[in-house]
Structure 1
Amino acid sequence: MFLSVWPEQGWALLQLLLVVLLSQAEEPVCRQRGDPESPQLFKDGDIILGGTFSFHSRWKDRQETYMHKPLPLECTSLNFREFQFAQSMLFAIEEINNSTDLLPGVSLGYKIYDTCGSIARSVRVALALTNGNEIVSAPSEEPCTKPAQVQAIMGETSSSPTTAIATVIGPFHIPMISHFATCACLSDKSKYPSFLRTIPSDYYQSRALAQLVKHFGWTWVGAIRANNDYGNNGMATFIEIAQQLDICLEYSVSFFRTDPSDKIQKMIEIIKASTSRVIVAFLSQMDMDVLIHELSHHNLTGYQWVGSEGWIFDSQIAAIDEHHILDGAIGLSIPKAHVSGLKAFMMNVKPLNSSNNKMFTEFWETLFSCKFNQSKSSAEIQRDCTGQEDLTGVQNSFTDMSLMPIFNNVYKGVYAVAHALHSMLSCNKTCTKDLQLDPITILQHIQNIHFKTKDGEEVYFNENGDPAAKYEIINWQPREKGIVDFVSVGLYDASLSADKQLNLQNTSLIWAQNSQQVPVSVCSEKCPPGTRKVLQKGKPVCCYDCIRCAEGEISNITDSVTCTRCPPEFWSNNRRDACIKKEAVFLSFEEIMGALLTTASLFGTCMTALVAYIFFRNRKTPIVRANNSELSFLLLFSLTLCFLCSLTFIGRPSEWSCMLRHTAFGITFVLCISCVLGKTMVVLMAFRATLPGSNVMKWFGPAQQRLSVLGVTLIQIIICILWLIISPPFPSMNFKEFKDKIILECALGSAVGFWAVLGYIGLLAVLCFICAFLARKLPDNFNEAKFITFSMLIFCAVWITFIPAYVSSPGKFSVAVEIFAILASSFGLLICIFIPKCYIILLRPEKNTKKNMMGKGSTKSF
């Protein structure tokens, strides 16, 4: 009722009451929820650096009932390697504190936590480093917040705990520098803005491993990876690059060191059933430790191992490999380094002892196999620890300095923070201590630092917080007494061009089972030149069959995917690995057929010349003078040209020979047939001139005969000229007739021109044959028309059969058919027309008289 009547006054009264109550409350107190997390190693200083290391590699599994608050994680399996990393950090801090050049007047302290390799514990440690553990009462003049307890964090060793810590501290921009977390995922500045590292990213290592595998020709490999960020991301990148390099994975399996034995057993069975002989292992040292013990139980030797830097140069792995499973292993490692004074510092162990806590007790008992204050009722009595044991004679992973490159990474990380602080605090002889340290500013200075260590090594970070990517290529070479030498056989430098990044030295390598020969690990053998790859159905691209290239195709490289067709002028050899020039086929003078045709042509020319000589010697005899001796000599001349023009068809075709052979053939044959036609017309008209009142011979006198021959021949000449002008014959290469040969021939150019020339010859031959046939029974003792008819019969028969034979004959045989037709028709004319006259001149001179030639007689027809 009161509020409804005076609502505004009522709310004001209520607010006043709340102010009075709050003013009487206690001072605000910041309280941490949950149990406090104490560092395992600590030291006070002006500036505190945090550290996270997996002093233990495992933890005990517990089944939570959710009936009470879960107990803290119980860590097991003390890891001396992580103690070495922590010692490297302490050594760098002590060296900086004792330096007058770096951070003068400022002391560095540290808080180092054990994460046990657990992601859950890593998150707790990150919160402890960020917030602190003590209860803080904030006076009224201070806000209930404080700066981060540490200015930078060194660690973690593994990628998965590192991602957890980097995720937690990222929003606070607290710098975190890892010495051995190589997952490429950590280069993502949007997720991990404050993360940096002194070891190269697996982005480069995975590529280097793929190139290394490709270099040795291993295209069929198996892969084992740690089931964490390091293994999964690294192997994913390796597989991606391997596919680009035509490398196939037969299997890719993952495991973690805490996996049950049955899961590891399944992985062993997969390896046993595989056909690949190379195994790429993307594992940490702790995972490899577990795997080696399992492989030893099954005696899985003979495999070529390719390792990541997580285990490849770890002497402890070599020490436990009693069955020589990893002999000949090859892989990438951080380049060798040396930190002067570090070994002596580690052997002193004083910084660990000064902590005087439970961690040191466990470390000391494990290191010297003794016990502090052990009860007499203990089932297993060990010698008592005095705390004064001598570390000189101890031989274990803590005294082993083979991981000096990683120690150097820790060392460089601490110095990177120190140089950034030195720059921020404007240090000269002393530093400005009253400056409020801002994590963002510290991070920016660390990202921009560039300095050299006392051994001359350059330290800087790129835009992703990564250093320059350089690796040594390490080969495990076993020696006597089970000692393994880690021999550097090459380098990988990602800053160089792609073809120069991988550089293997001319050093003799040792392979699996102490072999000197590079192992072979392929799904299918390489396809030699002359074959091509055909993928096997349902299998990876590395599994294929080799198929021989078809005729006319070649492959001149190994593992060719396709066969290349040879150019038209070439053909594949028998091995199908090279194109050889095709054999040029043409009718030559050297071969038997060409020589025979040449001989026949020259024989016909000589025979014609002989007949001409006989006729010239007996030119005044009646038999020569009959039927116009001029036409006889012109016919003999044309026959000589006919015999000789066949020679133009023999030999390699050229532009001039192609034009000459067809035109010369056409013109000489027309000249020849025109002479025969003139002689036939004279015989036919001579008989008609003897009839009373006939005056026909005045049209067939010598002058008219010459003009008729000239006119008939001139028509052929015009046809040939038009042919040569419009589309002349030309040399060409015929690739279609034979697959492995080139036929050199003369293309007709214009087919119309060719058939016009041939058709005109045929027309004259038919006309001549008709005239001779009509005059064959004229009454005369020597009727030349009979012999002309015979010659025309032979001529027509030859050229009628020539056409189908010419069309169906391949290559040079078509040329031979044409030459044969020329010679046969020429011999037919020569023999049928002139040999009977030569017979009378030479053997029957008594008949070579005017009286006998003019005498009438019956002539038998045929």
Structure 2
Amino acid sequence: MHVAVKMLKLVVLLLLLPPVACKAETTKCPMKDPLPVPHEWYQPGDLLIGGIASQIGYHLHEIDFSQHPAQELYKGPYMATKFHQHVLALVFAVKETNKNPRILPNVTLGFHVCDSYNDMRMTYRTTLDLLYKLHRYFPNYECDAHKNLIAVIGGISSDISLQISNILSLYKVPQLSYGSFAPEKRRGKQSPFFYHAGPNEAYQNTGIIRLLLHFQWKWVGLFAVDNNSGEHFLKVLEPLLSQNGICLDFIHRVPNEYHWNFSDDIKDLLLDIYIPFRDSKANTFMFYGEPTAFMAFNIFMFLANPQFKEITSFRKVCIMTAQVDFALTSLQRAWDFQFFQGTIFFTIQSNEVLGFQSFLKEIKPYGEEGNGFLKDFWEQAFDCVYSNSEELMNINERCTGEERLESLPGHLFELHMTGHSHSIYNAVHAVANALHAIHTSRSNHRAIDDGQGVELHNLHSWQVHPFLQGISFNNSGGESLSFNDEREMEAGLDVMNLITFPNKSVYRVKIGRVNPNVPEGQEFIIDEKMIVWQTSFNQISAHSLCSDYCNPGSHKKIKEGEKFCCYDCVPCPKGKISSQKDMDDCMKCPSDQYPTENQDGCIPKRISFLSFEEPLGISLASIAVSLAVITTIVLGTFIKYRDTPIVKANNRDITYILLMALLLCFLSSLMFLGQPGKVTCFLQQSVFSIIFSLAVSCVLAKTITVVAAFMATRPGTSMRKWVGKRLTTCVVLACSLIQASICVAWLAISPPFPDVDTLSLTEEIILECNEGSVLMFYIVLGYMGLLSTISLTVAFLARKLPDTFNEAKFITFSMLIFCSVWLSFVPTYLSTKGKYMVAVEIFSILASGAGLLGCIFSPKCYIIILRPELNTRDKLTRRKY
């Protein structure tokens, strides 16, 4: 297959035509042009606006379609008739300017439009034509008429624009490109005379990312034109996609060349483009490139399978960039476009220009003298031929000239001004307003009322630059336009939705926009309800994911060796949650919350402390009060029978102190109940430890008293002087003061304080008293344990002493219980959490205190109350304890 393409890129020139003689008499003009003569459209005027139109043509020949469903294809040149509107937008802008008496009065603008064939050689030749030629080709030579070139507008692609700039920059001619370029391509490689009437491509990249994120399309394919622009687009877009969690399933290059061999190249292109596209799991694909690349892509798809619209695996959403503009040749008019139903594409923002559609409707094929484009456009747009055409014999329909442009489908021609045409329209007005500013400036300085045209005849192109750079004007649509510091005419993008119909017509609907001149976060707006999707999507947006969404309660686990968009869904580990779909990782709940059963959310934790209102608190408080009451009764009984032998035995005062200490111990346990506060936390451990140490000291004093009394009965011993209050008082005071000193140091260094524990229990927030210094806490417990051990040891050794008033065996039982309770307290205390830890400490206080009270005082109370006859000296001296 051999395809040759001609692409016409619009270039607008302002020229002045004074009567200058041709200098051909001294230079021999070439007899034959090395390249085909391009299409031209010439309309003279005082100021001439010339240009190169954006029209694409295919020449198909040497193709054997006998074995292919496309055998009915017509062999001949084909034009992208839709881009003829670019030429007409130029003509309309020129005529509108000529009718406006406020801009360049008494000066008539003309235009000169040429074709570049989308070929580098033709682009350079056409640019030279506009500089030095009017009717015949004389490169770098003034022949026929002298032209004073003022400015150039073109082209639509970055490659064509840079090729034009290579020549124009040498002559310091301002150039206005109306395509959408990448920001990096706008700088560095271009001359300071290069301007941009189209939007920055960075805005389009932003719109693509926002669009994909809006519909959660995370697995997409990409077709990009195989040239520098496509390479740069991939270089910029791939990092943006990755940063936003979007993966590319495939990247394929679409050739922008127009010569290939069917037997060799087409098969390779079909394998590289059609088959991967057909087999891809991605339901969304993007197309970036120029119209020629899109037309080639469409041809590849059609040649591979003319019925591809019916293949279910092709139910995909297409996203096209502004450069494509969904333009096809008349060759493709008979093809089915249902495949492109629901396509979303970007276009340069445009407002409807008043009078433009009326201007288009008035165009007739015989009414435009010098228009070299119109014949080809009319024949191919309406599928007819002029009466003088040599091909009339092969076609049944003759062009009548009464055909109506509004009857053409949207892919062949649009009455609505497209984004590129709107940029051309604004570029023409920018140049016209810059010239008007020059004229006004000179008139003000020289006070010249007439002869304006003479003044502009002397203008050099480089003199337009400062006025063009600072120009600010309103077009007929009411838009305020100007160039910024980067010589860019800031413009946004419209987001369009393509709707196809069975009669092979297409219609586009505006569904959103990308506006750079708004606060951050509001650049992209889309109305999803206005989108018409393919019927295979059941009126809803397609999902394009490599893996299904991970539901809340699970997270993504990347598959080894694959892209990060391909993953398995794994349940969250214990203690973590994922509250949204497709989360990369699970997260912990805040410290005051805990995961739900399905691990898809967090629940506020309950506040937990041992209160007086709950059953456990009520039980412990009741036991503490009951023991306190019993202790009070015992103390009252001992006071009442204080003169009886059994009370007077073994130091009555120590007995009273022990009972008081036990009473206070039982009551101090109540300080551990209720919500912890500063005062209770500050006092509870210290008060408890001091009181308990006092009680144990009293028990130890009683035990030592028994031992001292026994030893004092031996003849010649010196222990008699220690028997009595002096010994017991010293023991009680010394032991208690040591514990008190430890507690004072604790409170001074790092006292206990109210604290919140959010980590120990999953579903509860524990309100507790933090010990402050854990070391001091265990020193206090250790000292109390030391006293208990000494008391137990002494009592155990003295349990069988032959003394009538011996209490040692009862003290042994009581201290055995006391030590057992506190030995089991430490591991139990450390293994429990929350209010149960407090309950263990209260229980240990009550149990150890009850052991002392019961073992030491219950036998005596039994005698005092139930067997008073035994509470005599004679009876006691005969009893053995």
In which range does the TM-score fall when normalised by the shorter chain? Answer: 0.7 to 0.9
* Residue 207 (structure 1) aligns with: 206
Is residue 365–residue 401 contact of structure 2 (8 Å, CA) maintained in 1? no
State how far apart, in whole Å, the 1-side matches of 2:203 and 2:711 are.
Answer: 112
Single out whichever of 683-692 and 456-465 deviates more from structure 2. Answer: 683-692
* Residue 344 (structure 2) aligns with: 330
Single out whichever of 526-535 and 729-738 deviates more from structure 2. Answer: 729-738
* Residue 644 (structure 1) aligns with: 667
* Residue 27 (structure 2) aligns with: 29
Query: In 2 relative to 1, CA 794–441 (structure 1 residues): closer, same or farther, beyond 3 Å?
Result: same
State how far apart, in whole Å, the 1-side matches of 2:656 and 2:398 are.
Answer: 141
Match of 1:535 among 517, 535, 558: 558
Is residue 29–residue 136 contact of structure 1 (8 Å, CA) maintained in 2? no
Is residue 313–residue 403 contact of structure 1 (8 Å, CA) maintained in 2? no
State how far apart, in whole Å, the 1-side matches of 2:270 and 2:249 are.
Answer: 18
* Residue 466 (structure 1) aligns with: 488
- The offset of 1:380, in angstroms, is 2.8
Aligned-residue CA RMSD (Å) = 4.5
Do residues 802 (structure 1) and 807 (structure 2) align?
Answer: no
* Residue 162 (structure 2) aligns with: 163
* Residue 307 (structure 2) aligns with: 297
Query: In 2 relative to 1, CA 320–285 (structure 1 residues): closer, same or farther, beyond 3 Å?
Result: farther
State how far apart, in whole Å, the 1-side matches of 2:397 and 2:557 are.
Answer: 70
Q: Deviations over 1:678-727 (max 9, x none)?
A: 55566566667777788965654567766765565455544544454455
Structure ID, larger Rg? 1
Query: In 2 relative to 1, CA 414–851 (structure 1 residues): closer, same or farther, beyond 3 Å?
Result: closer
- The offset of 1:439, in angstroms, is 2.0
Letter in 2 for 1:278: T
Query: In 2 relative to 1, CA 478–722 (structure 1 residues): closer, same or farther, beyond 3 Å?
Result: same
Letter in 1 for 2:362: M
TM-score of the superposition, structure 1-length normalised? 0.80
SS of the counterpart of 1:125? Answer: helix
Is residue 30–residue 136 contact of structure 1 (8 Å, CA) maintained in 2? no
State how far apart, in whole Å, the 1-side matches of 2:359 and 2:844 are.
Answer: 109
Single out whichever of 689-698 and 190-199 deviates more from structure 2. Answer: 689-698
State how far apart, in whole Å, the 2-side matches of 1:527 and 1:136 are.
Answer: 67
Match of 2:802 among 768, 771, 777: 777
SS of the counterpart of 2:340? Answer: coil
- The offset of 1:515, in angstroms, is 4.0
* Residue 16 (structure 2) aligns with: none
Letter in 2 for 1:51: G
> 1:658-697 counterparts in 2 under 5 A?
658=681, 660-676=683-699, 679=702
State how far apart, in whole Å, the 2-side matches of 1:181 and 1:587 are.
Answer: 72
* Residue 23 (structure 1) aligns with: none
Q: Deviations over 1:26-55 (max 9, x none)?
A: 996375596275763224444433221255
* Residue 401 (structure 1) aligns with: 415
Query: In 2 relative to 1, CA 592–795 (structure 1 residues): closer, same or farther, beyond 3 Å?
Result: farther
State how far apart, in whole Å, the 1-side matches of 2:525 and 2:871 are.
Answer: 104
> 1:281-360 counterparts in 2 under 5 A?
281-292=287-298, 294-295=301-302, 296-299=306-309, 301-312=314-325, 322-334=336-348, 335-340=350-355, 343-344=358-359, 347-349=362-364, 353-355=368-370
Query: In 2 relative to 1, CA 456–624 (structure 1 residues): closer, same or farther, beyond 3 Å?
Result: closer
- The offset of 1:274, in angstroms, is 0.9
Letter in 2 for 1:391: E
> 1:436-515 counterparts in 2 under 5 A?
436-477=458-499, 484-505=506-527, 507-513=529-535, 515=538
* Residue 111 (structure 1) aligns with: 112
Query: In 2 relative to 1, CA 517–619 (structure 1 residues): closer, same or farther, beyond 3 Å?
Result: same
* Residue 121 (structure 1) aligns with: 122
Query: In 2 relative to 1, CA 831–478 (structure 1 residues): closer, same or farther, beyond 3 Å?
Result: same
Match of 2:452 among 387, 408, 431: 431
Query: In 2 relative to 1, CA 841–496 (structure 1 residues): closer, same or farther, beyond 3 Å?
Result: closer
State how far apart, in whole Å, the 1-side matches of 2:124 and 2:217 are.
Answer: 41
Single out whichever of 478-487 and 319-328 deviates more from structure 2. Answer: 478-487
Q: Where does structure 1 lack aligned partners over 5 or more consecutive residues?
A: 1-25, 64-73
Letter in 1 for 2:321: S
State how far apart, in whole Å, the 2-side matches of 1:424 and 1:271 are.
Answer: 55
Is residue 75–residue 116 contact of structure 1 (8 Å, CA) maintained in 2? no
* Residue 280 (structure 2) aligns with: 274
State how far apart, in whole Å, the 1-side matches of 2:710 and 2:474 are.
Answer: 128
- The offset of 1:833, in angstroms, is 3.4
Match of 2:624 among 601, 604, 626: 601
* Residue 418 (structure 1) aligns with: 432
* Residue 41 (structure 1) aligns with: 41
Query: In 2 relative to 1, CA 512–828 (structure 1 residues): closer, same or farther, beyond 3 Å?
Result: same
Query: In 2 relative to 1, CA 240–758 (structure 1 residues): closer, same or farther, beyond 3 Å?
Result: closer
State how far apart, in whole Å, the 2-side matches of 1:422 and 1:328 are.
Answer: 45
Single out whichever of 437-446 and 748-757 deviates more from structure 2. Answer: 748-757
TM-score of the superposition, structure 2-length normalised? 0.78
* Residue 217 (structure 1) aligns with: 216
Is residue 87–residue 346 contact of structure 1 (8 Å, CA) maintained in 2? no
Letter in 1 for 2:161: T
Single out whichever of 474-483 and 332-341 deviates more from structure 2. Answer: 474-483
Is residue 571–residue 740 contact of structure 1 (8 Å, CA) maintained in 2? yes
Query: In 2 relative to 1, CA 643–418 (structure 1 residues): closer, same or farther, beyond 3 Å?
Result: closer
Do residues 86 (structure 1) and 87 (structure 2) align?
Answer: yes
Q: Deviations over 1:794-831 (max 9, x none)?
A: 41454156336514541366655555554444444433
Query: In 2 relative to 1, CA 441–788 (structure 1 residues): closer, same or farther, beyond 3 Å?
Result: same
Query: In 2 relative to 1, CA 499–587 (structure 1 residues): closer, same or farther, beyond 3 Å?
Result: closer
- The offset of 1:510, in angstroms, is 1.6
State how far apart, in whole Å, the 1-side matches of 2:405 and 2:634 are.
Answer: 125
Is residue 165–residue 191 contact of structure 2 (8 Å, CA) maintained in 1? yes
State how far apart, in whole Å, the 1-side matches of 2:395 and 2:328 are.
Answer: 31
Query: In 2 relative to 1, CA 738–33 (structure 1 residues): closer, same or farther, beyond 3 Å?
Result: farther
Is residue 628–residue 663 contact of structure 2 (8 Å, CA) maintained in 1? yes
Q: Deviations over 1:716-766 (max 9, x none)?
A: 544544454455455556678666666635524515741563155236514
SS of the counterpart of 1:390? Answer: coil
State how far apart, in whole Å, the 1-side matches of 2:453 and 2:29 are.
Answer: 32
Single out whichever of 643-652 and 483-492 deviates more from structure 2. Answer: 643-652
- The offset of 1:279, in angstroms, is 1.8
- The offset of 1:196, in angstroms, is 3.4
The size of the alignment, in residue pairs, is: 810
State how far apart, in whole Å, the 2-side matches of 1:501 and 1:853 are.
Answer: 103
Query: In 2 relative to 1, CA 674–368 (structure 1 residues): closer, same or farther, beyond 3 Å?
Result: closer
* Residue 633 (structure 2) aligns with: 610
SS of the counterpart of 1:333? Answer: strand
* Residue 831 (structure 1) aligns with: 854
State how far apart, in whole Å, the 2-side matches of 1:328 and 1:463 are.
Answer: 38
Is residue 788–residue 832 contact of structure 1 (8 Å, CA) maintained in 2? no
Letter in 2 for 1:121: M
Is residue 693–residue 784 contact of structure 2 (8 Å, CA) maintained in 1? no
Letter in 1 for 2:267: D
State how far apart, in whole Å, the 2-side matches of 1:577 and 1:523 are.
Answer: 23
- The offset of 1:835, in angstroms, is 2.9
Identity of aligned residues (%): 26
Query: In 2 relative to 1, CA 463–650 (structure 1 residues): closer, same or farther, beyond 3 Å?
Result: closer
Query: In 2 relative to 1, CA 424–688 (structure 1 residues): closer, same or farther, beyond 3 Å?
Result: closer
State how far apart, in whole Å, the 1-side matches of 2:99 and 2:748 are.
Answer: 105
Is residue 730–residue 746 contact of structure 1 (8 Å, CA) maintained in 2? yes
Letter in 2 for 1:380: N
Letter in 2 for 1:806: V
